[in-house]
Each structure stands twice: as C-alpha cells, then as structure tokens.
Amino acid sequence: MNQHLKAVKISDKVYWVGAIDWTMRDFHGYQTQRGSTYNAFLVIGEKPILIDTVKAQFRDELLARISSVMDPKRIQIIISNHTEMDHSGCLPDLIELAKPEKVFASPNGAEALNEHFKISQEIIPVKDGETMDLAGLKFTFLEARMLHWPDSMFSYLNDEKILFSSDAFGMHLASSERFDDELDQPVLEYEAAKYYANIITLYSPIVLKALERVSKMGIELKMIAPDHGPIWRKNIKRVLELYKKWAEQRPTKKAVVVYDTMWNSTGKMAKAISDGLTSAGISVKVMKLRDDHRSDVATELLDACALLVGSPTLNNGLFPTMSDLLTYLKGLRFKNKIGAVFGSYGWSGEANRILKENLEGMKIPVTAEIQSKFVPTQEMLDQCFALGGQVAERIKEVVK
C-alpha cells in the first residue's frame, strides 16, 4: 500500500479518493494530451459511502487514498453512477473486499453492471428523482440516460449541495489540483469543450433537457463533482452556461478547413481557400490530418459554422486520414454546419464526390466545391481564394 497517497477533503463529509492517470494519451480514439483523472468520492455518513470507483489498473491508488481516511473494508454503501469501466473497474473488488450492505445504481446501471461483471451481490436500482436517506444523509438520484450511456446517473448530496455528475461536466485533465479555481481557466474551458465535442455532442438535445430539469428543480449547487478532471466550485455558473451554449450548437463566424495531401496540391488549395475566408473576415482554423488529431478537429468544429474538407483522390477513393475523420465526425452528429469540398486528382478524381456524399450524410449541406487536376495553377488558386470568399458570405448569412 502506498502510504504517500492521500484522500483530499473536498467538503465537511466528502473526500476525493480517485486516481490520476498522468500518461494516458488516448481514450477511445480521443487524444488526451493532458492525461485524465478517474474521480471517486468517499462520503462519511453514519456509515461510509463510496461513489464510483476507478479504472481497474488504478485499484491500489483508490485503496491507498481510501485507507488514508479509513479501512476500505468499512465501506457499507456503494453508489455506481456509471457502468463504463473507467468508473466501475474496481467495483467487483470493492464489493469483494468490503461486502457492503447495499450497492445502488440506476435501473439500467443495475442491469449493465451485472452484464459486465456478473456481480454476486444484488445491485439495487434507484428510481429517477428518488430521494433517499443513506447513512443519515439525503441523496437524490437523477437518471441521466445517454449522458452518455443508458445507465448514466447523477447523485445529489443534499446535505453538502454537491452534484456527482458522472461524465457530464468532466474533462480529461490530469492535475495535482482538485478544484477548478486552482487551475488555469482557459485550459479548463478548452479541455471541457474538447470533452463535450468528443463525448457529448451527439447527446446535445438530452443535455438541454437535463439542464432545464436541474434548473426547474431549483437545487442549490455548491459543487459539481464529475468523474474526470477538476471539481467545479467557483465557476459552476460558467460551466452550466458553456454546456447550454455547446448543446444549442450555435455557430459562430468561424470555419474549419481540414485536409490531407500527397504532394501538397490539396494543401495549396487549403491555404488559398483559408486566405479567402480570412480576407472576408471569417475566423479560420486550418488543420492537416497527419498533423492534427481527429479529436482536435471535433473540438474546433464545436462552435464553427463551416466545415471545408479537402482530400486528394487516392486509389479511386479518399486519403485514409480523411475517411477516418469523416467516420468519426458522422458519429458525433454536429448540427447547424455548412460545408464545402475540395481536392486534387491525377486521372479519376472520385474524392470530391465521396466527400460530398459524406457531408450530406451528416446533414451538412455542401455550398461549394472545387477540384484541381494535378498541381493547382495560379488560376486555380485564385478560384480557391474566391471559393473561400463565397463560403464566407454564406457564413455571414447564417450567423448574423
């Protein structure tokens, strides 16, 4: 047992007992350049309560942090807000070790945990909206289906006014600090946006309903404690506003030009198109797929109005990195975007058609297209510049 690892007291009755994953750089194809944390919380009521666990490989860290407060065998109640294994990975071990009186989860969670782990102990399903006295403390459980799994649940500790929000309001950011106000705010907002773009975007309609529900309930929030990244205590209003903004998917006067290239012909076109957009007063992000990760493209797209995609034709198809990106973006279901396609080719030139089909499949209307045979001439680059201006005008029509 590592005796140097300690729990962090976050309120009168609650300790953070999670794990810090400093070196994780990939989470389901999402590049996590700042690592992550798996947050678990120990609540000291008349009986000790554990909220969520951590990824299985961090079991010793979880147990060491709990042990800095009390013997983990004394845990009597476990609440599992989410079945995904970065939070439930140590649940079977904890049940085996502590033999708790009760384990709670959402109805879908109870079913999914059994399917994952074949847990011998009964998992008690809690009702949506149910308030329960647990070990002398009042908990309210809110189902958060599809935020981001069918089993996801929020647990609100009325006594301390803390919302344990599972993945929602989280971010992949490893840090020695536990609270939002101890960290650099622009970094936090960037990582929260990246998390939203890559994990939550497709559930945006559900986010809006959940925000409305929590607001109507009028519950006071002193802290939002997600399962990844820092605990929000100072900027709660701000993160709620950001979630509303991201969920509404309101576009801004911004375009993302994303491409890959073989001999830089498509690259030259991307540059000329972005110059056209910039000259017309549009904020532009240019991203080359062998240098920029798909998850960073998704992040940039969150508040953009236009997605311009460029690919050379390779073996009658798209450049592989572009196929990868389009598959990824399709799943995220961004809304309120307009599109354009471009690229170079040598003889067959199928790429533009495939790009168009992909964008239209994502309900992104293609407003402009251009294709260059072999290396673009100056005349072709002028046309690309003009195309940038044309897309800029469309953006200004959409974003007033």
- Number of chain positions touching ligand FEO (CB under 6 A): 9
Instruction: Please identify, among the stretches 83-91, 129-137, 321-329, 364-372, the one whose residues bind ligand FEO according to the rule CB under 6 A.
Output: 83-91
Instruction: Please identify, among the stretches 55-63, 80-88, 93-101, 368-376, the one whose residues bind ligand FEO according to the rule CB under 6 A.
Output: 80-88
Q: Measured from the CB of residue 144, what is the shortest distance to ligand FEO in angstroms?
A: 11
Instruction: Please identify, among the stretches 79-87, 90-98, 238-246, 326-334, the one whose residues bind ligand FEO according to the rule CB under 6 A.
Output: 79-87
Q: Does 65 bind ligand FEO (CB under 6 A)?
A: no
CA distance 325 to 203: 19
Per-residue exposure over 229-241, b if at least 16 CB sit within 10 Å of its own CB, e if not = bbbbbebbeebbe
Whichever of 172 and 356 has its CB closer to ligand FEO, that residue is: 172
Tell me whether residue 87 is one of the annotated catalytic residues.
no
Q: Which of 21, 52, 61, 86 binds ligand FEO (CB under 6 A)?
A: 86
CA distance 277 to 387: 8
CA distance 116 to 333: 28
CA distance 106 to 236: 25
**For residue 48, what are the β-bridge partners?**
44
Tell me whether residue 4 is one of the annotated catalytic residues.
no
Whichever of 36 and 344 has its CB closer to ligand FEO, that residue is: 36
Residue pair 202/332 in contact by the 8 Å Cβ criterion: yes
Whichever of 61 and 167 has its CB closer to ligand FEO, that residue is: 167
CB atoms within 10 A of CB 73: 13
**Which listed residue (21, 52, 61, 84) is catalytic?**
84
Q: Does 194 bind ligand FEO (CB under 6 A)?
A: no
Q: Does 87 bind ligand FEO (CB under 6 A)?
A: yes
Instruction: Please identify, among the stretches 50-58, 84-92, 308-316, 346-354, the one whose residues bind ligand FEO according to the rule CB under 6 A.
Output: 84-92
Whichever of 87 and 356 has its CB closer to ligand FEO, that residue is: 87
Tell me whether residue 86 is one of the annotated catalytic residues.
yes
Tell me whether residue 116 is one of the annotated catalytic residues.
no
CA distance 6 to 19: 10
Q: Does 227 bind ligand FEO (CB under 6 A)?
A: yes
| Region 109-168 residues binding ligand FEO, contact defined as CB under 6 A | 148-149, 167
Residue pair 16/227 in contact by the 8 Å Cβ criterion: no
Strands of the 41-44 sheet, one edge to the other: 8-9, 14-16, 41-44, 48-51, 77-79, 102-105, 123-125
Residue pair 100/75 in contact by the 8 Å Cβ criterion: yes
Whichever of 56 and 70 has its CB closer to ligand FEO, that residue is: 56
Burial (CB count <10 Å: 0-12, 13-18, 19+), residue 6 = middle
Tell me whether residue 181 is one of the annotated catalytic residues.
no
Whichever of 115 and 360 has its CB closer to ligand FEO, that residue is: 115
Report the residue number whose CB is nearest to ligand FEO: 84
Whichever of 54 and 384 has its CB closer to ligand FEO, that residue is: 54
**Which listed residue (82, 87, 172, 293) is catalytic?**
82
Q: Does 172 bind ligand FEO (CB under 6 A)?
A: no
Q: At what angle do helices 351-361 and 320-332 cross, to 10 degrees?
A: 10
Q: Measured from the CB of residue 13, what is the shortest distance to ligand FEO in angstroms?
A: 24
Strands (E), 231-290: 254-259, 283-288
**Which listed residue (167, 292, 296, 303) is catalytic?**
167
3-class SS of residue 51: strand
**H-helix or E-strand containing 34?**
none
Q: Which of 228, 268, 337, 356 binds ligand FEO (CB under 6 A)?
A: 228
> What six digits make up the tokens of 374?
């072999």
> What six digits make up the tokens of 85?
């294994």
**For residue 125, what are the β-bridge partners?**
105
Q: Measured from the CB of residue 27, what is the shortest distance to ligand FEO in angstroms?
A: 8
Strands of the 131-134 sheet, one edge to the other: 131-134, 137-143, 153-157, 162-164, 223-225
CA distance 40 to 53: 5
Q: Which of 84, 260, 296, 303 binds ligand FEO (CB under 6 A)?
A: 84
**Which listed residue (15, 21, 148, 345) is catalytic?**
148
Q: Measured from the CB of residue 350, what is the shortest distance to ligand FEO in angstroms?
A: 38
Tell me whether residue 167 is one of the annotated catalytic residues.
yes
Query: What residues line the site for ligand FEO (CB under 6 A)?
Result: 82, 84, 86-87, 148-149, 167, 227-228
Residues designated catalytic: 28, 82, 84, 86, 148, 167, 195, 228
